[in-house]
Amino acid sequence: MKLGIDFGTSFSLPAVTVLDTSVVLLPGGKYGIPSVFYYDEWEGVLVGEAAENAGQGEEAANLKREIKLELNSTFTADGRVFTARQIVGYILNHVKENALSAARAKLINEELEGVVISVPAAFGHNEKEFIREAAETPVEEGGPGLKVLGFIKEPVAAALAYFKTSLADKTRILVYDLGGGTCDAAIVEADSSLKEKYTVIDSDMRRVGGKDWDACLETYILESLEQQSGISLKENPGYREKIKRAAVSAKHAFSEKVGEKYRDRVRARVEINGKSYQVPITSEEFGKMTFSLLWDTIEMIMALLKKNDANSVSQIICVGGSSNMPQVIEGIKKIFPQMELRVFEPEKSIAIGASIYAGYCNGKDTFLSDMAAFSYGSDCCRNYDVDPNDKIVINLIQRGDRLPVTRQHRFITTRDGQTRMRFDIYESDKEVQQYDFVPGKQPVMQIVLELPPGLPKGTAAVLYLTLTTDGIIEAVADDGNGHSIKVQKRLNY
Ligand SMILES: Nc1ncnc2c1ncn2[C@@H]1O[C@H](COP(=O)(O)OP(=O)(O)OP(=O)(O)O)[C@@H](O)[C@H]1O
Ligand SMILES: [Mg+2]
C-alpha cells in the first residue's frame, strides 16, 4: 500500500488508491486531522483533536498550530523545547496511525510501502528535504518511520484526482487551491488519448489562506469585545484561543445556507469572566475586511492565465477548504465570467491525487511532466581583480524550463596557477540571467574541478547543468583538456 498524505497547514489527510479506486483513510467521515500539536508535562505529547481539546484556557500557550508555515522554528511548551521537525514528525506519525487503522477497518491489510506528500507549489528542495527528514525519522526515535516516495504540488494532485473522474470533459484546467495557509494554483493538461500523461504547464503560490480570513475576524471580534467588556484581552493566550475559535466558527457559518441563500449575518459569541458577549457581523463586512486577501489570489490566477494563453483554459477547478466560502467562488466568477467554475471535493482531492501519484512513483514512468520550479546557477566573481568578494550567481537553468533540461556556461579561472575551480550551485526563484550572491544561503550542491598546476589566469572550463523530470540534478565541469568531474544529486521534485 502506498499512501498519499495531504500535510496541510490546518488539516492533514491520508488517502490510498487501490485498483483505481481512491479512498480517504479517516475513521468516521471526519473532515481531516487538525495539524495541531500540544505538550504539557502531565498529558505528554498530543496531536490532532486531542491537542485541540487540551489547548484551551491557560493551556492554550502549549498549543502549536500552522507549523507547516514555520519550518525553521522551535516551540517551547511547559518548559520543553520542540523543533519544527519533531512537531511535523509527530503530526505525520498521527496521520499514519489513523490511516493504518482506517485501512484495516476497510479490510486493506497490505503493508505500507511508502508515501507521497503534497506540498505548496513554491516549496523548494530544502523545505521538502525538511519534511522528508521529519517523515523518515525512525520509529525508535519517536518518528513516523515513513519512506517518502516523492512529493507533488498540491494543486497538481487535485488535478490528477479531478481528471480521474472527468477526463472527457476538459483537457487543460486551472486548479485554484485555497487552503488554510497558502493559495496554490496550477495549469495542468491531460493527454486524453493516453489518459496517463499529465503536464504541468505552470504553477504559482501566495502565502494567503483561511488563517488570514480568521485573523481579520479575530481582530474585529477582539476589538469589539475589549470595547464591550473594558478588559484587555490581547495578551491572554486563553482568550486569544477562545476568540480564534469564535472567529473560525463565524467564518464557517457564513458558508452555510439558510434555505437557498447563504447566511448574511452571524453572531460570534465569547464568554469572558463568566459573562457571555456577542459580536454581530454581516457577510458584507466580512467580505470587505477580507477583500484584499481574495484579490491577492485572483491576481495570481490572472497572471498565470496571461502568461500561459488564457484562451487555452476554459475551466477553473476550486479546491481547498477555503473554497467553501461563497465570497471566494462569487469573486472568481465575477472576474472570470467566461470560465466554467467547479468546486471539486475541496477537502479530499489533494490527498486522493497524492495517492494516485504514489502509484506511479517508481522512478521509471514519466507519468507527470513538470517544469523547473526554480532556477539553478553557479556562483562566481563579478570581477576578481577589482573585488574578490563581490560575487554573483549565473543561472544556467531557468525557472519554467520544461524538464528534462541541460544548459551550459563557460567559466574562467581568476588567478595564475589556480589548481581548482569550485562551483556552488544555488536554487532560487529568480528568473534572470544573473543576480547578486546572497551571503549565508546554502548551495544545493557543490562541484570541484581539479586542474593541473601552472595554468594561466583565464583558463576556461564549461559547466553543464542537467535537471531531469524526476528531480535529479547533475553538474559536469570540463576543461576540454581531459579534466572533468560529474556530481549528481536528487532534489525533491
Ligand atoms: N465551510 C467552510 N467555510 C469556510 N472556511 C472553511 C470551510 N471549511 C474549511 N474551511 C477553512 O479551510 C481551511 C482548511 O482548508 P484545507 O484543509 O484545504 O487547508 P490545509 O490543507 O490545511 O492548508 P494548506 O493547503 O494551505 O497548507 C481552514 O482555514 C478552514 O477554516
Ligand atoms: Mg491543503
Q: What is the mean pLDDT of residues 121-126?
A: 83
Q: What is the mean pLDDT of residues 331-339?
A: 95
Interval between CA 383 and ligand 2 midpoint (Å): 46
Contact between 361 and 355 (Cβ < 8 Å): no
How high is the pLDDT of residue 357? Answer: 92
What residue's CA is closest to ligand 1, atom 4?
252
Residue in 174, 145, 175, 144 with CA at minimum distance from that of residue 33: 144
Indicate if 466 and 363 belong to the same structural domain: no
Using CA atoms, how far apart are residues 11 and 49, in angstroms rounded to an integer?
10
Indicate if 218 and 205 belong to the same structural domain: no
CATH assignment at residue 43: 3.30.420.40
Which atom of ligand 1 is closest in space to residue 255's alpha carbon?
3
User: Which structural domain, as residue segments, surrounds residue 16?
Assistant: 2-209+294-369
Q: End of a domain among 369, 387, 421?
A: 369
Q: What is the mean pLDDT of the chain?
A: 93
32 lines ligand 1 (CB under 6 A): yes
What residue's CA is closest to ligand 1, atom 31?
210
Which atom of ligand 1 is closest in space to residue 322's alpha carbon?
12
| SS3 state at 486 | strand
| SS3 state at 429 | coil
CATH assignment at residue 486: 2.60.34.10
Binning pLDDT at 50, 70 and 90, where does residue 342 land?
very high
Cell of 310: 488564457
8 lines ligand 1 (CB under 6 A): yes
Q: pLDDT tens digits for 289-321?
A: 999 999 999 999 999 999 998 888 989 999 999
Using CA atoms, how far apart are residues 305 and 380, in angstroms rounded to an integer?
36
Q: pLDDT tens digits for 345-402?
A: 999 999 999 999 998 876 566 678 888 889 999 999 999 999 999 999 999 999 988 8
How high is the pLDDT of residue 141? Answer: 87
Q: Is 79 left (phi over 0), alpha (psi -120 to 50) or beta?
A: left
255 lines ligand 1 (CB under 6 A): yes
Q: pLDDT tens digits for 247-288?
A: 999 999 999 999 999 999 999 999 999 999 999 999 999 999
Using CA atoms, how far apart are residues 94 and 11, in angstroms rounded to an integer?
12
155 lines ligand 1 (CB under 6 A): no
Indicate if 103 and 252 belong to the same structural domain: no
Interval between CA 120 and ligand 2 midpoint (Å): 8
Q: pLDDT tens digits for 126-142?
A: 899 899 999 999 999 88
Using CA atoms, how far apart are residues 174 and 185, in angstroms rounded to an integer?
7
9 lines ligand 1 (CB under 6 A): yes
CATH assignment at residue 232: 3.90.640.10
Indicate if 215 and 205 belong to the same structural domain: no
How high is the pLDDT of residue 433? Answer: 95
How high is the pLDDT of residue 194? Answer: 53
Binning pLDDT at 50, 70 and 90, where does residue 453 land?
very high
Kindly tell me if the per-residue pLDDT of 471 is higher than 80. Answer: no
Minimum-distance ligand to the CA of 266? 1
Indicate if 379 and 416 belong to the same structural domain: yes
As a whole-number percent, the residues of the chain with pLDDT over 90 amount to 80
Binning pLDDT at 50, 70 and 90, where does residue 123 land?
confident
Interval between CA 119 and ligand 2 midpoint (Å): 8
Choose the residue to mutate in 11, 65, 184, 206 for probing ligand 1, maximizing ligand atoms within 8 Å of C-beta: 11
Indicate if 323 and 302 belong to the same structural domain: yes
How high is the pLDDT of residue 2? Answer: 94
What residue's CA is closest to ligand 1, atom 25?
179
Interval between CA 466 and ligand 2 midpoint (Å): 31
Which atom of ligand 1 is closest in space to residue 6's alpha carbon?
21
Residue pointed to by grid coordinates 530544502: 126
Binning pLDDT at 50, 70 and 90, where does residue 8 land?
very high
320 lines ligand 1 (CB under 6 A): yes
Q: What is the mean pLDDT of residues 339-344?
A: 95
Contact between 400 and 371 (Cβ < 8 Å): yes
Which atom of ligand 1 is closest in space to residue 254's alpha carbon?
3
Using CA atoms, how far apart are residues 469 and 481, in angstroms rounded to an integer?
31
| Of 50-59, 187-196, 459-468, the least confident | 187-196
How high is the pLDDT of residue 101? Answer: 92
Q: Is 363 left (phi over 0), alpha (psi -120 to 50) or beta?
A: left
How high is the pLDDT of residue 18? Answer: 86
How high is the pLDDT of residue 29? Answer: 61
Indicate if 176 and 253 belong to the same structural domain: no
Which atom of ligand 1 is closest in space to residue 32's alpha carbon?
17
Indicate if 66 and 205 belong to the same structural domain: yes
Indicate if 380 and 364 belong to the same structural domain: no
What residue's CA is closest to ligand 1, atom 9?
321
Strands annotated E in 28-180: 33-34, 37-40, 44-47, 63-64, 74-77, 80-83, 114-119, 148-153, 172-178
Indicate if 197 and 105 belong to the same structural domain: yes
The residue among 492 and 5 whose pLDDT is bigger is: 5
Which atom of ligand 1 is closest in space to residue 252's alpha carbon?
3
How high is the pLDDT of residue 102? Answer: 92
Kindly tell me if the per-residue pLDDT of 166 is higher than 80. Answer: no
329 lines ligand 1 (CB under 6 A): no
How high is the pLDDT of residue 389? Answer: 92
Indicate if 431 and 304 belong to the same structural domain: no
Amino acid at 478: D
Q: What is the mean pLDDT of residues 181-198?
A: 84
180 lines ligand 1 (CB under 6 A): yes
Choose the residue to mutate in 5, 6, 9 for probing ligand 1, maximizing ligand atoms within 8 Å of C-beta: 9
| SS3 state at 227 | helix
Q: pLDDT tens digits for 17-64?
A: 988 789 899 866 677 999 999 999 999 999 999 999 999 999 999 999
322 lines ligand 1 (CB under 6 A): yes
Q: End of a domain among 369, 401, 431?
A: 369
11 lines ligand 1 (CB under 6 A): yes
Cβ neighbours for 354, distance < 8 A, ≥ 6 positions apart? 4, 5, 6, 15, 116, 117, 118, 152, 157
How high is the pLDDT of residue 365? Answer: 63
Total number of domains in the chain: 3
Q: pLDDT tens digits for 393-442?
A: 999 999 988 888 999 999 999 999 999 999 999 999 899 999 999 999 99
CA dihedral over 270, 272, 275, 281, signed as positive or negative: negative
Q: End of a domain among 369, 384, 399?
A: 369
Indicate if 202 and 218 belong to the same structural domain: no
290 lines ligand 1 (CB under 6 A): no
How high is the pLDDT of residue 310? Answer: 83
179 lines ligand 1 (CB under 6 A): yes
Using CA atoms, how far apart are residues 350 and 317, in angstroms rounded to an integer?
12
